[in-house]
Structure 1
Amino acid sequence: MLQGLPPLLDASTRILLLGSFPGVASLVQAQYYAHPRNQFWRLLGACLDDAQLATLPYAERLRAAAAHGVGLWDVVAECRREGSLDAAIMDAQVNPLAAYLRDTSPRLARIGFNGALSWKHGQHLAEHGYQVFKLPSSSPAAASLNFEQKLALWRPLFADALT
């Protein structure tokens, strides 16, 4: 079984970006969205009005996200999978999202689901009072939309919510 990455959120988190499960590059580097072609950090930087975000060292990216009240996690805690595609995930064990979020991040109001699998396993969080947003995946495998089209769909998550 492959193990996911730990949650990166705390009591000041107001927006959470939930992915499905880290790809091979992310697991190897123990970093969220480590694949160089993944558009996550560019999208987040554009939404935070920080064009430099994607070029910063990883630890600085995390600090910048946290400073804006943005947290990261995945819906799947562990699974079996060959390669990095969500379609190859088997025996998925889902993180205890609702209970963990309620206890860890009392200011959390909005959750963006980075891709279809995260949406499938997490959209129920709307029933717990969160505003939920189904986002197009930032993965290089999700090429049906270009960067600008994805960004237009990501921006509403951050509208009127930034510090």
Structure 2
Amino acid sequence: MRKQSFPPVIDERARVLIMGSLPGDASLQIQEYYGNPRNYFWTVVYALFSDGAAPEADYPRRLAFAAQNHLALWDVIAAGEREGSLDANIKAELPNAIPELLAAYPGIRCLAFNGSKAHDTFMKHFRHHPCTEGRAVLKLPSTSPIPTPRMRGAADRIEAWRPIVGYARGEGELRQGD
């Protein structure tokens, strides 16, 4: 089953581009980034940028909150074949035009990947592309509700995602290895 990503959510204030792999079925059904109510993404973002307030129920307000905090959203994969929602099932992926997006938004200082599949797919297609120069590249744990040995719930993910705050606030220094 061929599935497609959404357009990027970005404006000139963006400093951190958060990239997932490809929207899951729940997100595709309602046409919202991280639309599965069990996914921790919005809980993590609100915990990091609003002193723990609960995420807005209204999707446009969630997007506005992300933009106000200098976050942009997109997926690494423009289209791919996948049965169900598991990243492991993605086949025949076609990457999004990420270098072109980054050229249009030079204020992005950090590429934050929501999970291994997003990171690994980006590296497969763009590892040596100049679009990564001068930008931090963060491989973060997936906000999927599926627990792992190290990521049991929202609290673990909130701590793991904390580095994006400095970059979003313009405080993140590019360090060796970023």
Same fold (TM over 0.5): yes
Q: Does 1:154 align with 2:155?
A: no
Q: Per-residue CA shift, 1:89-145, capped at 9, x if unaligned?
A: 011001121122211x12110111000011112243773321111100001134431
Contact 2:71 2:168 in 1 (8 A): no
Q: What is the CA-CA distance between 1:161 and the residue it aligns to?
A: 3.3
Q: Does 1:90 align with 2:91?
A: yes
Equivalent positions of 1:79-118 (< 5 A) are 79-103=80-104, 105-118=105-118
Out of 134, 137, 153, the residue aligned to residue 139 of structure 2 is 134
TM-score (norm 1): 0.91
Equivalent positions of 1:2-151 (< 5 A) are 2-103=3-104, 105-123=105-123, 124=127, 127-144=132-149, 145-146=151-152, 147-151=154-158
Q: Which moved more, 1:84-93 or 1:128-137?
A: 128-137
What is the CA–CA distance in structure 1 between the aligned matches of 2:82 and 2:163, rounded to whole Å?
32
TM-score (norm 2): 0.84
Q: Which has the larger radius of gyration?
A: 2
Contact 1:5 1:73 in 2 (8 A): yes
Q: What is the CA-CA distance between 1:49 and the residue it aligns to?
A: 2.5
Q: What is the CA-CA distance between 1:21 and the residue it aligns to?
A: 0.5
User: What is the aligned-residue RMSD (CA, Å)?
Assistant: 1.8
- Structure 2 unaligned residues grouped into runs of 5+: 171-178
* Cα distance change of structure 1 residues 3 and 160 upon mapping to structure 2, 3 Å threshold: closer
Paired residue total: 162
Q: Which moved more, 1:92-101 or 1:79-88?
A: 92-101
Aligned-residue sequence identity (percent) comes to: 36
- Structure 1 unaligned residues grouped into runs of 5+: none
Contact 2:69 2:168 in 1 (8 A): no
Contact 2:16 2:167 in 1 (8 A): no
